[in-house]
Structure 1
Amino acid sequence: MQSPNAPEHPAHIVRIPHFLFIMRLVQIFLSVVILALMAFAITQLTNVFGTFGYNIFCCIYNFIGVGYLLVSVARAPRIWNCWAALVIDIFGVIFWISAWGSLAGWAALGNIAYDSSALDLCRHYSKTDQRKCNGRKGAWQASAATAGLGAIVWVLFVVHLIVYSIHLHRHRTAPETKHLPSSGRALTEEEKGAEMNVVSPQGVYSA
């Protein structure tokens, strides 16, 4: 039950289960971990920035997109938009399936080259170059871990998109939200004032 002193839930914001908020926080946390792993891998490997850079771009996308959704709901509800939230999820699904899929392919090739007993490249290096070779091996292992974490982020986007889409449909078709702008934005002060000044038929004809 909502406390009488609790702030009123803005009508234009879609009510969603609390576990979706937890999923958003997990996405941000995993993005930080992925960013750190990619930064390490880039320092050890060359000519792989295309794939690794794309994963870094996806992390930045999470910081901006998911960060906007979290901050707008908590601190600035007027800038929250239901369609923007939907688009962020859709692009998140597309971006992250490409990110972890491409990185998994690269990581598989790298780990075969450096970990296979038949193709262990490090054994061909001199002792002075062993540290460099081990660093490259660690970079490929970090890439494999990043692909796994990226897959988790992608799954979270898919689950969030499905659940949010269901609640968005219920929100837009509910009788109490029929007056909201179709653009998904909040009502302006003028629109709120005009709505309050509308007299209902029951108010006109009541005794």
Structure 2
Amino acid sequence: MESTTHQEKPAGDHVLETPLWVTVLRGLQLLLSVIILGLCADLMHDAYLPEEGFSLAISLFTWIGVAYIVLTEKVPSLRQAYNIIAVIVVDGVLMILWLAAFASMAARRAKYVYDVTVTNCSDDGSLFDSKTCSRKRAMDLVERSNVILFKSGLAMTAAIAGLGALVWLLFIACFVWTLIMFLRGRKEGRFAMGSTTPATPNNNYQMENKVAESTPMSPQTYPSQTQPLPPPVAFQDAQGQYQQPPVQHQQPVGYPPQDQPYQQTQ
């Protein structure tokens, strides 16, 4: 009988090999996130805003996510940690977070529409929110916030929003390309979600036993041992004479009994 063989997949079959342009996009994502982090840190040192802290946190998450995607694909010793589903999830989550980050910064920048004159600015040396200034304009004409941004601060806020939008577009491109390649690979039999169990060699053994049980045994295969019969007992007929019963032949065990001819006593 023919035995089925289990073919093992190549070691890197679960890894999606990305072209050069995708690797360049990953590098741009890291570079822009570094620039955004620096701008946010500079602004937060003078005047802290929640939108700035959110953008800074997303920049740090970008470093972690992009480092996982690139290193697990390019470094052979780390390919065991690569998972195509994890790559798609990381791209999708960062795409949503960058959308929220640049939109919130753009909304914050749009609130500053009035010129404000400030005096007596001082720096207390704190790591965050270190500057304190006094303003002269009436409260009903300025943005209802305790934070006042100078022209440089407004420019950096607009730059964070614009660069964040660019990073968001880069993650959209990587997410769409990875998703398309994943669906195409699934049609080709790659990126299996579950592990396949190879056929066990006991299947052939069980099939051979079933075939052997269904085949009838020939007469030569029956054992040839015989069982002893009891000695014949003489009986007396009507005239008073003893008659010896006919000798019965012993049949081998396992053979069906043969028809015995009927003997009529006299």
| TM-score for both structures, normalised by structure 1 | 0.71
For these two proteins, the number of residue pairs brought into alignment is: 167
Cα deviation, residue 10, structure 1: 1.0
Identity %: 26
| 1:33-59 Cα distance to aligned partner (Å, 9 max, x none) | 00000001111214x1x2111111111
Q: How does 1:31-70 map to 2 (within 5 A)?
A: 31-46=33-48, 48=49, 50-70=50-70
CA contact (8 A) 1:28 1:63 kept: yes
Q: Does 1:157 align with 2:143?
A: no
Q: Aligned residue for 2:216?
A: none
Q: Does 1:173 align with 2:187?
A: yes
* Letter of the structure 2 residue corresponding to residue 151 of structure 1: A
Q: Structure 1 unaligned runs (5+)? A: 1-7, 114-119, 199-207
Aligned pair partner of 2:86 in 77, 84, 87: 84
- The 1-side partners of 2:165 and 2:94 are apart by 12
Q: Does 1:182 align with 2:193?
A: yes
Larger radius of gyration: 2
Q: Does 1:125 align with 2:118?
A: yes
Q: Does 1:14 align with 2:16?
A: yes
- Distance verdict in 2 for CA 1:170–1:85, change over 3 Å: same
Cα deviation, residue 135, structure 1: 7.1
* Letter of the structure 1 residue corresponding to residue 159 of structure 2: A
SS at 2:51 equivalent: helix
- The 1-side partners of 2:150 and 2:11 are apart by 52
- The 2-side partners of 1:154 and 1:102 are apart by 13
CA contact (8 A) 1:16 1:167 kept: no
Q: Aligned residue for 1:143?
A: 157
| TM-score for both structures, normalised by structure 2 | 0.56
* Letter of the structure 2 residue corresponding to residue 10 of structure 1: G
* Letter of the structure 2 residue corresponding to residue 81 of structure 1: N
Report 1 or 2 for greater relative contact order, CA contacts < 8 Å, sequence distance ≥ 6: 1
- Structure with the higher strand share, 1 or 2: 2
Aligned pair partner of 2:32 in 30, 33, 39: 30
- Structure with the higher helix share, 1 or 2: 1
- Distance verdict in 2 for CA 1:29–1:102, change over 3 Å: same
Q: Aligned residue for 1:116?
A: none
Q: Structure 2 unaligned runs (5+)? A: 1-9, 124-130, 134-147, 202-266
CA RMSD, 1 decimal: 2.8
